[in-house]
């Protein structure tokens, strides 16, 4: 998966599947890249997608 194929709902579905969606949104709200990364790894999201999500979090820089 590359950035042009990125589908945020896939990430959210996988996080919901492990019942960590609320924790993920809390990590996003807190700009906690470490926690967000750990949650995505726990949901077995591939490394390339994790990097895209973390980059989008960084690029948002408080604009979420």
| DSSP state for residue 40 in the 8-state scheme | H
Average the pLDDT over 56-62 and give the result: 79
List, in order, residues 6 or more apart from 3 with CB less than 8 Å away: 52
Buried b (16+ CB within 10 A) or exposed e, 47-61: eebbebbeeebeeee
pLDDT tens per residue across span 27-41: 999 999 999 999 999
Residue labelled with tokens 């709902």: 9
By residue range, what is the domain housing residue 23?
Answer: 3-60
Mean pLDDT of 40-61: 91
Count of structural domains within the chain: 1
Residue with tokens 């726990």: 42
Entry pTM: 0.81
- The separation between the first and the last C-alpha atoms of the chain, rounded to the nearest angstrom, is 23
């Amino acid at each position: 998966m590359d950035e042009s194929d990125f589908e945020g709902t896939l990430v959210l579905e996988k996080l919901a599947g492990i019942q960590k969606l609320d924790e993920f949104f809390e990590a996003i709200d807190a700009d906690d890249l470490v926690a967000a990364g750990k949650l995505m790894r726990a949901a077995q999201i591939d490394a390339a997608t994790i990097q895209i999500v973390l980059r989008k979090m960084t690029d948002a820089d408080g604009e979420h």
